[in-house]
Amino acid sequence: MSSHLNAVSIEDLRLKAKRKLPRCIFDFYDGGAEDELTLNANRQSFQNVMLTPRILRGVDKVDTRVDMLGETCGLPIAIAPTGALGYGKHGADLAIAKAAAAKGLIYTLSSSATTSIEHIAREAPGRHWFQAYILKNKDFFYSLIDRAQAAEYEGLMITVDLPVGGKRERDNKNKFAIPFKLNSRVALDFLAHPFWLGELIYNGMPVLENMVGLEGQNRGINHLASSVGRNYDPAFNWDDLKRIRDYWHKKLIIKGVMHPEDAVRLMEMGCDAVVVSNHGGRQLDTANSTLSALPTIVKAIDGKIPVLLDGGIRRGSDILKAIALGANGVLTGRATLFGAISSGQPGATHALNILQEELVRTMQLCGVSEINQITPELLFN
């Protein structure tokens, strides 16, 4: 039996990923900044919101379709950008992209993915957004945008909450680095996970393919992987974003918005959607949870552009709660990551199936049969 099939929840897939990976690799994906208060708050906020179901409303047929930036999606879900997946599972980026395409969902490719812009477009045809980190090397940065344009990506997602990297203490304690810095503890941990290690040896060290050439073609790929974070541009500002808006003529989505005034300014600049996100709790610890930040941003935007929520989605009921508080949809990153690490594309598909089935069941139990029927009245006050 495939290892993902007996997983009945995203948490089950998370635990399977934990067993498959060396601790330092799992913690890199699973962990957050400093005391991980924001990481945990993202989940706790959903758990603190309770539901008030309605009854006798005829919910034998449930329609989960939504408009997602101009086209219908079968679920109010898009795949969040997640980097360096190849260190956990060879081909994980493509596996998730194919799983998303099969369900008609938007897949967002990270700048720091281990699969190239062009490979995703060619091997997983569907709806694609490309997520760009702001790099100091603007010629290289704009070359990535040009590549996404040439590959016919329909949306560009700019991550604006990462002027500098966060302090991820799990990584520090594990002495996690790329290239790997082996000591006796790390070496023993690698040897204790022979299937992961064998796959790594067989396929070779993953490459952050979109970043090749960032610091010169003659640099080693391991040096490249370890240096990307040092290339973020803390000087990036509103004028710089306006230049990107003028340069990119398709959909522009801004990820990392936590304040309503920022959301309004982005809308007025002509951005097509905002993503309420605190980077999964991986950068600024003690930042507000995304679900708590959502209502004020929704109120400020007042329906003029879509508002998406990222961070902490682990249950179908989480999706319903986000929509009830005004989100037009959600992004999920770790859920499909855990699935892909468990079993590649079938595992990623299973993660999406879990969320879909839970969303449908939660809608039925709450007495709603269409996404537009999910309103604040379902929330317990």
The token pair at 39 is 């990481």
What backbone torsions phi and psi does residue 251 show, to the nearest 5 degrees?
Answer: -65, 135
Given 128, 193, 279, 350, which residue is catalytic?
Answer: 279
Note if the bond before 163 is cis, omega within 30 degrees: no
Tell me, yes or no, if 279 is annotated catalytic: yes
Burial 58-76 (b: 16+ CB within 10 A, else e): ebeeeebebebbeeebebb
Question: No. of H helices and E strands in the chain?
Answer: 15, 10
Quick one: residue 288, left, alpha or beta (phi over 0 = left, psi -120 to 50 = alpha)? beta
User: Judging by DSSP bridges, how do beta strands 251-257 and 273-276 pair with one another?
Assistant: parallel
H-assigned helices in 217-287: 221-227, 238-247, 260-269
Strand partners, 103: none
Backbone φ, ψ for residue 157 (5° rounding): -105, 120
* DSSP result, 309-338: EES---SHHHHHHHHHTT-SEEEESHHHHH
Active-site residue list: 279
